[in-house]
Amino acid sequence: MVNIISGGAHAGRSIDVQDFLAVPLAATTFTEAIEWASRVRAGTAEVLAGRGLPVALVADEGGLGPLLPSNRTALDVLIEGVERAGLRPGHDIGIAIDIAATQFQQADGGYRLAAEDRELTPDELVEELADWCAHYPIVSLEDALGEDDWEGWNLATKRLAGRQLLGDDLFVTDLARLDRGITQGVANAVLVKPNQTGTLDSARGVVARAHAAGYGTVLSARSGETEDDWLADVAVG
């Protein structure tokens, strides 16, 4: 899952959603997967340049940070970038999104898309995401609701079934929060950050609990940690 377009806290909030990522679904080797992701990133940069959209900003995790008129525009641009790379959206390349909804949740429990000047209830946010899923090859949604919006997450888990629903801020690599999610039937995957839980042993415990409950796991670095490639070795292990 490779960042292509970023917004939110990773890119000066040019758009509200934090990351739009390429997932090389049909790649048969790791090398091919990385090559395809690189081609999609280059193709997306070309699409943005062709539209006259600024692409000078490179976001915190390497994604392009363009100024876009809406969050949905990022999906359109990414689809065009996949096609420009000579790949097929939904077959060769799927899309993953890190909504990072906690970043734009309001004190009253609603959600404000500042880049679009829109206020949404949790139900409306879920419906917005369901509409995106109906029109784009989205295979994974991360942090679709706020980190403590358990009721909203419960709705999202039912409404957005059929794709990976990944908890990062929701679970924070914490066994107790993961247990609550499993008990309530919330989400179906957990983002595992060893840096966040503090030890490899704790991280492995979260992985074991998730797998025992049928939850998927995605190993991830945290923003700001080492650029060393040790985490790739942990992921393979």
Grade residue 13 by pLDDT with cuts at 50, 70 and 90: low
Q: Which amino acid is at 26?
A: A
Is pLDDT at 104 greater than 80 in this prediction? yes
Contacts of 103 (CB under 8 A, 6+ apart): 8, 9, 16, 18
Contact between 173 and 191 under an 8 Å Cβ cutoff? The reply is yes
Token couple for 101:
């909804």
Q: Quick one: tokens of 100?
A: 């990072």
Q: pLDDT tens digits for 184-200?
A: 999 999 999 999 998 99
The predicted-structure confidence for 150-166, as pLDDT tens digits, reads as follows 999 999 999 999 999 99
Catalytic residue among 80, 142, 147, 193: 193
pLDDT above 90: percentage of residues in the chain: 79
Which tops the pLDDT comparison, 191 or 65?
Answer: 191
Domain boundaries, the chain: 2-164, 171-237
Query: Which one of the listed residues 35, 61, 83, 116 is annotated catalytic?
Result: 61
Domain 2-164 in CATH 3.20.20.120: yes
User: What residues contact residue 182 under an 8 Å CB cut-off, 6+ apart?
Assistant: 209, 213, 215
Pairing of strands 189-192, 216-219: parallel
d(CA 151, CA 148): 9
Average pLDDT, the chain: 93
Reply yes or no on whether 158 is catalytic. no
Q: What per-residue confidence (pLDDT) applies to 140?
A: 98
